[in-house]
Amino acid sequence: MKKVLLAVLLSGFALSASAATSPTCEKYFADLDDFVKMAPADQQAALKQQNEETKKKFEMIPEAARDQACTQAADALKQAKAAMSSAGK
């Protein structure tokens, strides 16, 4: 479940965000790295690879859209974390 949520989250926002040069994007990617650490150990390597690929895709989006896209991605990440917490109870 965790792997599926993260994969959906990463792929959904890969096309809607940009490079993590703004504080908003830097925070989003830090939170995303923390999210990967929550995954089972045997899935973390694959998720880290997906995360790196997503960051590269984010770099292709115009800078003007960066903060908004990172904000949307961060909101989706919060929802994914909440869903994982609920599923784990």
Show the domain range for 58.
21-86
Q: pLDDT digit string (tens) for 35-60?
A: 888 888 999 999 999 989 888 888 88
In a domain, 3, yes or no: no
Cβ proximity of 72 and 9 under 8 Å? no
Instruction: Kindly report whether the global pTM for this prediction surpasses the value 0.75.
Output: no
In a domain, 8, yes or no: no
Sign of CA dihedral 16, 19, 22, 28: positive
In a domain, 48, yes or no: yes
In a domain, 15, yes or no: no
Q: Say how many domains are in the chain.
A: 1
Ranges in the chain, pLDDT < 50: 15-20
Return the closest-CA partner of residue 19 out of 80, 61, 47.
61
In a domain, 49, yes or no: yes
